[in-house]
């Protein structure tokens, strides 16, 4: 019997934002007479980060990912056409928003040059790809809409777009926190804490028109709807600041959430409060959104998309449940104390930072700031100019990871005196190929 060889190739495709990661495992098995089969595996991993990289993708993968890649550098004629992105369109959208916000008793939005630029870039991106996609690392609130017209001269109407989003108001229940984003366009439009606005539209080669509206600060935060979304006829509540004598907004947060997104004193321990404050000060230095403390089962949402399916428009939102991160972290800290050692939780769904401390003085207790300082000090070894080759600075990068939104911490002490601190993060960070997007340099 002659020697025979068989080869099997498995391909795994992962997409994180604009980064496409392709992992191929080639398994070769050699069969020789009288011998055990010899198996050899070769793993190849490639990243594709932009349009030039996408051109190198095999045609079948392009089709699978629905990528529309030009074969040559786009000329002025082949680029997505700008449509209705001039000042008049933006002013009309702004006026319609503020008319609605006034009905719901919240302050008007202001047009932001920065958000105008962000919206135009996003609209051009969507029109270039000719597919409606969310941006997972987006810093701003975002309402998206897509329409199609056989008339190449058709221009999107601001009143039409805003009216479609506002029509979701009839689905919204003002008496309870929402369980989904069926009315997410509407709630972002009237979100009380949002103050800045930008909008743009672009037309694709197939005559689809993509509209992007951006909001800052973003809305649709879990646990904050009742505080930020008011029924029609609501008065804008103000109280007098005794010190300054100026009018300032006054709002009452729902149980467990303060107006700054942090949990109430009744629910959050001093330990977690200290850890959250330290994290958010570090994140402020890097210009990324603050974390919120997670102690309850919640629903967390992505941006809201209004997209056509066979000519119809349907609202789509991405939702996932969040376990009690504070309880989750505390349980693992107690398990590590029982084991009297430090190790990561297996099969964990959340980002995780660990810290251990031991003192000859049994009265000394480890603090959240102590752990956070140790983690953040890894910044001195981090290279912001390239993707890391190891996770030697992984505690730091998880602390400031842009798309992480929630934090829970736990502390426990073993019988030997080992003090263990666990921090869990949702969504998790430290994803290959996305460090430069999610770990910006400090601004100071």
Q: Looking at 254, 278, 300, which one is the last position of a domain?
A: 254
Query: Which of the 8 DSSP states describes residue 261?
Result: S
195 vs 109: CA distance, rounded Å: 5
Q: 């956070």: which residue's tokens?
A: 372
Residue 362 belongs to some domain of the structure: yes
Residue 346 belongs to some domain of the structure: yes
Question: How many domains in the chain?
Answer: 3
CB 16 within 8 A of CB 133: no
If asked whether residues 58 and 98 sit together in one domain, one would say no
CA neighbours closer than 13 Å in the CB half-sphere of residue 156: 30
421 vs 271: CA distance, rounded Å: 10
3-class SS of residue 28 = strand
Q: What is the four-CA torsion angle of 147, 151, 153, 154, rounded to 10 degrees?
A: -30
CB 123 within 8 A of CB 210: yes
CB 204 within 8 A of CB 128: yes
119 vs 246: CA distance, rounded Å: 34
Residue 296 belongs to some domain of the structure: no
If asked whether residues 43 and 114 sit together in one domain, one would say no
Residue 16 belongs to some domain of the structure: yes
If asked whether residues 408 and 356 sit together in one domain, one would say yes
The CATH number of the domain where 147 resides is what? 3.40.33.10
pTM (2 decimals)? Answer: 0.42
Both tokens of residue 53? 């990289």
Residue 36 belongs to some domain of the structure: yes
Both tokens of residue 436? 């430069």
Host domain of residue 162:
81-254
Q: Is the peptide bond before 217 cis (omega within 30 degrees of 0)?
A: yes
Partners of residue 120 on adjacent β-strands: none
39 vs 35: CA distance, rounded Å: 12
Partners of residue 425 on adjacent β-strands: 351, 407
If asked whether residues 142 and 117 sit together in one domain, one would say yes
pLDDT per position in the chain (444 positions), as tens? 577 777 787 877 877 666 777 777 778 788 777 777 887 777 776 776 666 666 666 666 666 665 554 444 433 333 444 444 467 899 999 999 999 999 999 999 999 999 999 999 999 999 998 888 777 666 788 999 988 776 666 778 899 999 999 999 999 999 888 877 889 899 999 999 899 999 999 988 888 889 999 998 888 877 778 888 999 876 543 332 232 323 222 222 222 222 233 333 334 678 888 899 899 999 999 999 999 887 544 444 445 555 443 333 334 443 333 347 888 999 999 999 999 999 999 878 889 999 998 877 777 788 999 999 999 999 999 999 988 888 889 999 999 999 999 999 999 999 988 999 999 999 899 887 889 899 999 986
């Amino acid at each position: 019997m002659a020697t025979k060889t068989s080869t099997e190739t498995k391909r795994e495709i992962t997409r994180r934002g604009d980064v496409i990661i392709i992992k191929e495992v080639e398994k070769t098995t050699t069969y020789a007479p009288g011998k055990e089969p010899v198996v050899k595996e070769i793993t190849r991993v490639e990243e594709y980060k932009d349009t030039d990289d996408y051109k190198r993708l095999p045609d079948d993968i392009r089709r699978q990912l629905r990528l529309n890649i030009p074969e040559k550098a786009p000329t002025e004629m082949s680029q997505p056409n700008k449509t209705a992105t001039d000042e008049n369109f933006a002013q009309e959208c702004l006026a319609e928003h503020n008319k609605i916000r006034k009905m719901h008793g919240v302050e008007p939005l202001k047009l932001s040059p920065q958000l105008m630029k962000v919206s135009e870039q996003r609209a051009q991106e969507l029109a270039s790809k000719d597919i409606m996609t969310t941006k997972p690392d987006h810093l701003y609130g975002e309402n998206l809409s897509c329409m199609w017209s056989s008339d190449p001269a058709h221009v999107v109407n601001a009143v039409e777009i805003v009216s479609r989003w506002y029509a979701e108001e009839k689905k919204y229940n003002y008496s309870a926190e929402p369980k989904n984003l069926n009315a997410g366009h509407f709630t972002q439009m009237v979100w009380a804490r949002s103050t800045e606005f930008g909008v743009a539209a672009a037309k694709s080669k197939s005559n689809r028109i993509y509209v992007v509206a951006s909001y800052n600060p973003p809305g649709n935060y879990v646990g904050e709807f009742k505080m930020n979304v008011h029924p029609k006829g609501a008065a804008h509540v103000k109280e007098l600041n005794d010190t300054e004598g100026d009018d300032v907004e006054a709002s009452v947060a729902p149980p467990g959430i303060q107006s700054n997104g942090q949990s109430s004193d009744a629910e959050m321990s001093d330990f977690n409060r200290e850890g959250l404050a330290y994290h958010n000060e570090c994140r402020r230095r890097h210009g990324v959104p603050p974390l919120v403390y997670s102690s309850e089962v919640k629903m967390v949402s992505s941006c809201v998309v209004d997209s056509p399916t066979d000519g119809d428009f349907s609202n789509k939102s991405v939702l996932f449940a969040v376990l009690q991160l504070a309880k989750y972290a505390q349980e693992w800290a107690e398990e590590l104390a029982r084991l009297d050692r430090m190790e990561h939780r297996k099969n964990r769904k959340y980002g995780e930072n660990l810290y251990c401390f031991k003192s000859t003085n049994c009265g000394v207790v480890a603090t959240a700031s102590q752990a956070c300082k140790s983690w953040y000090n890894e910044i001195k070894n981090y290279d912001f100019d390239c993707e890391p080759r190891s996770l030697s600075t992984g505690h730091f990068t998880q602390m400031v990871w842009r798309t992480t939104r929630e934090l829970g911490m736990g502390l426990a002490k073993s019988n030997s005196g080992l003090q263990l601190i666990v921090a869990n993060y949702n969504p998790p960070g430290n994803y290959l190929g996305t460090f430069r997007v999610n770990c910006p340099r400090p601004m100071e």
